[in-house]
Structure 1
Amino acid sequence: MVLKIKHFVIFTTFVILSSCGEQQQNLQQIDGKQIRITDSITATESIETFVKPYRERINHVLDSTLSYAPYPISKTDGALNTTAGNLMADIVLSEANPIFKSRTGHEIDLVLLNHGGIRSLISKGNVSSRTAYEVMPFENSIVIAELKGSSILKMASYLRDSGRAHPISGMQLTLDAKNEIQSIAIQGKPLDENKIYYVATSNYLVNGGDSMVFFKKAIAITNTDYLIRNAMIDYFKKTDTLKPVVDNRFIKLK
């Protein structure tokens, strides 16, 4: 009798385990809904308490005054070059050049950025790290492309035809009254189409962004791993007053 009971228990256990093993879990349905983030959502006190010191620290860092702008710095205050564009390009040149030189022994000859990359003006008043995030919210890093002078000539044609004040530094471009290129100077010297020039730009543009396809002809690319935004912050920290002007780096003669 005992033996029969044991056999029955073993048999039952085997059947149950076999049944469980044969069952398959299949996803039948996924439900979802959109939750709008509005001021109608009540805060969770425990989460607010946890986040508060971090938020206060971030705001303190972002809003601490680094520099001062005595007037608005805009990307729309000039036809072919602007105060914001000139400032951005000059910052990239001054802040990235020491890094590039320490790694390669070469110096940056010129800078080209894109007009659309400037996302905000710099208002008159105190300038902070938050300002840099507003002007340059993208994670674009500074790269240096080695270009022959012939590619620089194509760059100049692109600037002439674009109809936008793309930021440049280290280059002086003059158009005549008929919109033809009259002269191109790099670091104060006439363009040499056979010379190699080191052009600082963004990782977005060097890959052909904004139709800047001339960068595809780069002989080599050096990535500084230095964000344009961080270069701005570093420049703000050591510059008491920002005073960029619309100048003659890109002009058209009448």
Structure 2
Amino acid sequence: MRLTHLIFLLYFFNLFNCKQVKFELAKIEGEQIQITDTLIASSEIEAFIKPYRNHIQKDLDSVLAYSANTYSKNDGALNTALGNFMADAIYSEANPIFKKRTGKNIDMVLLNHGGIRSILSKGNVTKRTAYQLMPFENSIVVVALKKNQIDSLINYLIRKKRPHPISKLKLTINGNDKIIDVKIKDKNIKSDKIYYVVTNDYLYNGGDNMTFFKTNDSLYVLNYKIRNALIDNFKKIDTIKPVIDNRFIQIK
């Protein structure tokens, strides 16, 4: 028993008398590995991911609709067929959700020209098409704006003169950039009305200098990605054939 106590005491004193070892970083070494087609693929990894890759490819390439022509975001000055289609599609898919949750209707849509990242090619339209048009994870939000914010929105469109996708807003200006006519859902803008405007989270947070969204009355997050809304809209349409119209024009 005494021997056990002696061993314990020796261990205890030895533990507390030991000096702590202090480690210091001496150097850092690194190596850059180029990811090129010269790297030899692992057959085991390839075999593991193959069924997942095939499933994703099949899903992305499933045909949802047909595009009557090839449409570009640059085929018009102040509005384009592709931009019009995208804005109208977002309105069509988002409004029922917003209506169900709030009992209110969306008044208009404003997206950004730069957010369209691809043409819409003539032929079959698939989920892959939606990912090409909108590769970002931008989500739909609805912003409640008063007349002074709507005025700022309209002045922004006139000042920038880019075909930002819009829906349910009609704007006509003259050669001096003065407003000839402006309407939302074919009605004059009222000073005492709250307008519910669909945009995406990037623009709401000031993207493309659209700062007027931040001075809002209320914000509604739909948890619905722009890309998913496009896919849902593709599924409902047999043939896509949008046009350039008079939703934003300049008369000179």
- TM-score when normalising by structure 1: 0.92
What is the rounded CA distance, in whole Å, between the counterparts of 1:124 and 1:25 in structure 2? 65
Does residue 96 of structure 1 match 2:94? yes
One-letter amino acid of the structure 2 residue matched with residue 244 of structure 1: P
Does residue 28 of structure 1 match 2:38? no
One-letter amino acid of the structure 2 residue matched with residue 30 of structure 1: I
Structure 1's 93 and 6: CA in aligned 2 closer, same or farther, altered over 3 A?
closer
What is the rounded CA distance, in whole Å, between the counterparts of 2:12 and 2:27 in structure 1? 32
Gaps of 5+ in 1: none
One-letter amino acid of the structure 1 residue matched with residue 76 of structure 2: G
Q: Give the superposition deviation at 1:67.
A: 0.8
Helix, strand or coil at the partner of 1:218 = coil
Structure 1's 19 and 50: CA in aligned 2 closer, same or farther, altered over 3 A?
farther
Contact 1:67–1:127 under 8 Å retained in 2: yes
What is the rounded CA distance, in whole Å, between the counterparts of 1:7 and 1:168 in structure 2? 86
Does residue 171 of structure 1 match 2:169? yes
Helix, strand or coil at the partner of 1:93 = helix
Instruction: Summarize the alignment of residues 155-234 of structure 1 with structure 2, pairs less than 5 Å apart.
Output: 155-234=153-232
One-letter amino acid of the structure 1 residue matched with residue 224 of structure 2: Y
Counterpart of 1:132 in structure 2 is 130
What is the rounded CA distance, in whole Å, between the counterparts of 2:49 and 2:230 in structure 1? 28
Counterpart of 2:238 in structure 1 is 240
- Number of aligned residue pairs: give it: 251
Superposition RMSD in Å? 2.0
Q: Give the superposition deviation at 1:99.
A: 0.6
Q: Give the superposition deviation at 1:10.
A: 7.0
What is the rounded CA distance, in whole Å, between the counterparts of 1:139 and 1:179 in structure 2? 35
Of 59, 69, 86, 2:67 maps to: 69
Helix, strand or coil at the partner of 1:51 = helix
Q: Deviations over 1:30-84 (max 9, x none)?
A: 3222222111111001000000000000000011111111111210000000011
Gaps of 5+ in 2: none
Structure 1's 163 and 33: CA in aligned 2 closer, same or farther, altered over 3 A?
farther
Counterpart of 1:253 in structure 2 is 251
Counterpart of 2:42 in structure 1 is 44
Helix, strand or coil at the partner of 1:78 = coil
Structure 1's 25 and 189: CA in aligned 2 closer, same or farther, altered over 3 A?
same
Helix, strand or coil at the partner of 1:199 = strand
Helix, strand or coil at the partner of 1:184 = strand
Structure 1's 7 and 199: CA in aligned 2 closer, same or farther, altered over 3 A?
closer
What is the rounded CA distance, in whole Å, between the counterparts of 2:222 and 2:9 in structure 1? 71
Structure 1's 170 and 162: CA in aligned 2 closer, same or farther, altered over 3 A?
same
Q: Give the superposition deviation at 1:29.
A: 2.8
What is the rounded CA distance, in whole Å, between the counterparts of 1:201 and 1:125 in structure 2? 28
Q: Give the superposition deviation at 1:248.
A: 0.5
**Overall identity of the aligned pairs, in %:** 52
What is the rounded CA distance, in whole Å, between the counterparts of 2:144 and 2:4 in structure 1? 84
What is the rounded CA distance, in whole Å, between the counterparts of 1:157 and 1:84 in structure 2? 23
Helix, strand or coil at the partner of 2:100 = helix
Q: Give the superposition deviation at 1:193.
A: 2.9
- TM-score when normalising by structure 2: 0.93
